[in-house]
Amino acid sequence: MFVGIIKYRSFKNAEKWYVYYIIFLFLIESAVKIAIHVFHAKELNHIFPYYVSGELLLLGTLFIRKLNLSAYLYIPLAVMAGFFLLNNDIVVNETKKVISSIVIICFAGYALLMEINNPKINARFIIADSLIFLYYAMSVFMFFVLRQLADFKMEEANMIWNVNNLLCSLLYVSLIYTFLKLKK
């Protein structure tokens, strides 16, 4: 995160959203840790809608700007993020996460296709985009598997969570690596 902040000035306007995204993730993780360790919270479902809406807004905005897509795409993005903030019985948190992840996968996949097909594009963030795509695809898979976690043995459930944690760590490392390799 600190590397991204230090190199912030060398980023193009759309690329600055990668820094916003990693700061957001840091703040959410910090809020969870503080809630657990300082306030001894047993239940953290109130943070989840902010996480899902925030990541959708940040990554959606990142890819809309990066790909020079129509500004009208901000409207459904904002409506979805606002809907995900609402606590309702229509859509449960797990479904909100899956829908958000699928939208992010579509944006990241399209960005990867554009970076691969057009050699004139400076693909400075292709590794980060690839791992965003992979992490959120795995995230969708994880939420489908979550429904069966009760049927798994403890070792199997831990293995599944460890794969998710590994991919999350790889995503963070790819962002840090990308920040470090950028030249001024």
Segments of the chain scoring below 50 in pLDDT: none
Cβ neighbours of 180 (radius 10 Å)? 11
- pLDDT recorded at residue 9: 67
Q: What is the pLDDT of residues 63-85, one digit of tens each?
A: 999 999 999 999 999 999 999 99
Tokens, residue 31: 């809020």
72-99: b or e for each residue (b if 16 or more CB lie within 10 Å)? eeeeebeebbeebeeeeeeeeeeebbbb
- Compute the distance between CA of residue 62 and CA of residue 58 in angstroms, rounded to an integer: 6
- pLDDT recorded at residue 18: 92
Please report where in the chains the tokens 């590397």 appear, as a residue: 3
pTM comes to 0.88
Listed in sequence order, the DSSP H helices in 38-147 are 48-66, 74-85, 93-117, 126-146
- pLDDT recorded at residue 64: 97
Domain residue extents for the chain: 2-181
- pLDDT recorded at residue 81: 96
